[in-house]
Amino acid sequence: MSELSEPFEIALPSLLKHVRVLEQSGLISSEKIGRVRTCKIEPHALHATEAWIQQHISAWEQRLDRMEAHIESMKREDKDYEQPIKET
């Protein structure tokens, strides 16, 4: 684990907490042999996570597209009401 924490500015106990959360979520697994603990990414869990994220991205993109269309229609309506008065 100390090798895993080297590239990060994080204390080993904090890293271990993060690793435990990732293990509990099924995103990684670890195995301890002697004094060495080896972590392994679980691809199937990452694929499921990616699918969930993609669903939410799609939903939010649709919402934002509808909001943008609504704002654009409001701008067009404002322009229709802001027609200058012609002086004779």
Using 50, 70 and 90 to split pLDDT, how confident is the model at 88? low
Q: Are 37 and 1 in contact (CB under 8 A)?
A: yes
3-state class (DSSP) for residue 33: strand
- Amino acid identity of residue 56, one-letter, is H
Q: Is the pTM of this model over 0.75?
A: no
Residues in the chain: 88
From residue 86, how far is each of 76, 83 by CA, in Å?
Answer: 20, 9
| Rounded Cα distance, 13 and 5, in Å | 10
β-strand partners of 32: 37
46-82 residue pLDDT tens: 898 899 999 999 999 999 999 999 999 998 888 776 6
